[in-house]
Amino acid sequence: MHSYVSGTSDTPLLGETIDANLRRAVARFGDREAVVEVATSRRMTYLEVDAAIDGVARGLLARGIAAGDRVGIWAPNGLDWFLVQYATARIGAILVNINPSYRTHELEFVLRQAGIGTLVAAVAFKTSDYRGMVEQVRDRLPALQEVVYLDDPSWDALLAEGAAISSDEVVQRSQRLSFDDPINIQYTSGTTGFPKGATLSHHNILNNGYFVGEVCGYTATDRICVPVPFYHCFGMVMGNLASTSHGACVVIPAPGFDPAATLQAVVDERCTSLYGVPTMFIAELAVPGFAEYDLSSLRTGIMAGSPCPVEVMKRVISEMHMADVTICYGMTETSPVSTQTRADDSLDRRVSTVGRVHPHVEVKVVDPETDLPVPVGQPGEFCTRGYSVMLGYWDEPEKTADVLRTGWMHTGDLATMDEEGYLTIVGRIKDMVIRGGENVYPREIEEFLYTHPDVVDAQVIGVPDARYGEELMAWLRLRAGAEPLTAETLREFCSGKLAHYKVPRYVHVVDDFPMTVTGKIRKVQMREEAVEILRGQTRP
């Protein structure tokens, strides 16, 4: 039996634009709450959201924004971000999500590469002076015609100019759009080199959000707490679009991730679902007085973005009341979700796999050398095909051709599939360590290291070695007050439980791992730093 499966479904794909879907939600759920911004206490029903989106859309039309024009958004999470997302979709402008942590070098690259003519930005957030950074690069970007700042007179001016445009003009524009039109460009995390702009259509992201919500069992009574970034698919697709396609409510706990504020938002807004990457859930579980937060309204949620430690998943289910929590796996280029665990999956399935194929999606696990499906149980590259696969990387046909072949997206992730179609991610092709001819998958070792009573978080990388080609190095975060862990004490812990070639030779204790904003570990950076750390050291 080979590693291939297709996601058959009795529920058809949505054949409509994001705006058509939203208008249906407004008609059905007009008086229900659509979005809450906790930081400002702003809350809007579906009817109010519709009117506010219309105001932004009319302002954009007044500024001459045509279908297909790129509109950048560079801001932390907020209600206005939400409105811009749906307003651009309403008029067919392509929303370009810009990572709020970018600095001038990265900002200039994205503004130029996507050909952004209008940028909507926050004035500032935390240590980022967005206005100052925009001014530093603006003179070098002739295509950038307009910059509108949120919470600023320039935003008020945009809305005021929209008053001269009738809502009928917005409707006429919306009705001329195809659901296959590009509507969103998301730059991949860029853990190596410059990021690439994954170009996504209405069909891509509306359906992915909808089916994520279907698997979570969402209805109009759900209230989804979304502390993950809107600029990423996790926030704007799995959060916003999953919610509005079911008439549910999005709760924005804070502009940036704050574990205590997230828990308080769940309590105050009686949220039924909570999202996060594993590091977010780890931080929430560690909030002082965690047990005093009444999280009993929660029933589900999504953990995604990077592999979930088994022990963390168990605590989320038992201590956060998230009995139906699901694991999602995917990537920006696939809108993003390809597989998801189900509420009726056993605890073992939910902590040891990334679930089964999503509706209307195909998955195969192939030998990276031959592209042929491998037998069930054998590791290979995870590939997926279907409605969710991006249109391509913006203006980069060669890089698109590298990963998209005969409709299949080659993810670069290593996975195994079992006989029932459950998939397990065992690492990245680039992360796989080859030690003395043995293929070593860091994920397996990381899961084992989580069982050490003093280890809070673990990452394993390969480092150059003259004898074996590569050796293993464990980067560890330890509990407060824990005794120092050395390579020798870790070897003792692993003895008899891991094959000798899987036992890390080096140990490096850290307070934090280098990460992207979406919670992905930057193993490339870790390897670079490890070489410096080990330089001059003798073999232990």
Burial of 8 (0-12, 13-18, 19+ CB in 10 A): exposed
Taking the C-alpha atoms of residue 99 and residue 104, their distance in angstroms, rounded to an integer, is 12
pLDDT at 439 over 80: no
Query: What are the two backbone dihedrals, phi and then psi, of residue 155, each rounded to the nearest 5 degrees?
Result: -70, -45
352 or 537: which leads in pLDDT: 352
Candidates 177, 212, 247, 202; CA nearest to 18 is: 202
Of 144, 178, 212, which marks where a domain is finished? 178
Question: Do 382 and 367 meet the contact criterion of CB atoms below 8 Å apart?
Answer: no
- The pLDDT assigned to 106 comes to 85
Instruction: Report the pLDDT value the prediction gives residue 71, as an integer from 0 to 100.
Output: 98
Under 8 Å CB-to-CB from 495, ≥6 apart: which residues? 503
* Interval 109-144: pLDDT, tens: 999 999 999 999 999 999 899 999 999 999 999 999
Unique residue bearing structure tokens 């297709």: 6
Residue whose tokens read 């460009």? 185
Q: What is the pLDDT of residue 194?
A: 72
Count the Cβ atoms, other than its own, within 10 Å of residue 348: 9
Give the helix ranges, DSSP H, for 115-218: 130-138, 153-161, 167-175, 202-216
Q: Within a domain: residue 83?
A: yes
| Residue 310 · residue 450 · CB < 8 Å | yes
Rounded-to-10 torsion of CA 420, 424, 429, 433: -120
CA 198 to the chain's CA centroid: 13
Crossing angle (nearest 10°) for helices 79-91 and 167-175: 60
To the nearest whole number, what is the mean pLDDT of the chain? 94
Backbone angle region of 117, left / alpha / beta, with phi > 0 → left and psi within -120 to 50 → alpha: alpha
Would the pLDDT of 245 be above 50?
yes
* Residues composing the chain: 540
User: What's the CA gap between 487 and 364, in Å, rounded?
Assistant: 38
Rounded to whole angstroms, the Cα distance separating 209 from 225 reads 15
Q: Are 91 and 170 in contact (CB under 8 A)?
A: yes
Distances (CA, A) of 110 to 47, 272, 338, 349, 398: 34, 36, 27, 39, 18
275 belongs to a structural domain: no
Please give the Cα distance from 363 to 522 (Å, whole number).
26
C-alpha neighbours within 13 Å on the C-beta side of residue 401: 4
243 located within any domain = no
Alpha-carbon torsion (186, 189, 192, 193), positive or negative = positive
Determine the 3-state secondary structure of 77 from DSSP: coil
Single out the residue in 126, 154, 178 at which a domain terminates: 178
Domain presence at residue 453: yes
Give a yes or no: residue 350 inside a domain: no
Residue 288 domain-assigned (yes or no): no
Percent of the chain with pLDDT over 90: 81
pLDDT in tens, 39-98: 999 999 999 999 999 999 999 999 999 999 999 999 999 999 999 999 999 999 999 999
Q: What angle do CA 131, 135, 139 make, to 5 degrees?
A: 155
Structure-derived torsion over alpha carbons of residues 376, 377, 382, 383, reported in degrees to the nearest 10: 0
Checking DSSP bridges between strand 380-386 and strand 356-357, what pairing results, if any?
Answer: unpaired
- Domain of 62 in residue numbering reads as 46-178
Please report, for the domain that includes residue 166, its CATH number. 3.40.50.980
Number of domains present in the structure of the chain: 2
What tokens does 28 get? Answer: 């059905």
Pairing verdict, β 4-6 and 300-303: unpaired
8 A C-beta contact, residue 14 and residue 21: yes
Alpha-helical runs (H) found in 14-78: 18-29, 46-62
pLDDT digit string, tens, across residues 150-207: 999 999 999 999 999 999 999 999 999 999 999 999 998 644 457 899 999 999 999 9
Q: What is the pLDDT of residue 518?
A: 59
Question: At 202, which amino acid appears?
Answer: H
* Residue 169 falls inside a structural domain: yes
pLDDT value at residue 192: 46
Cis status, amide bond into 336, omega within 30 of 0:
yes
Considering 178, 206, 229, which residue would you say is the last residue of a domain? Answer: 178
Distances (CA, A) of 59 to 75, 148, 171: 19, 11, 14
Q: pTM (2 decimals)?
A: 0.87
482: domain CATH number is 3.30.300.30
- Look at residue 279 and tell me whether its pLDDT is greater than 80: yes
Sequence-distant contacts of 494-497: CB under 8 A, at least 24 apart: 494/448, 497/448
Residue 255 has pLDDT above 90, yes or no: yes
Beta bridge partners of 42: 37
- The answer as to whether 198 is a domain residue is no
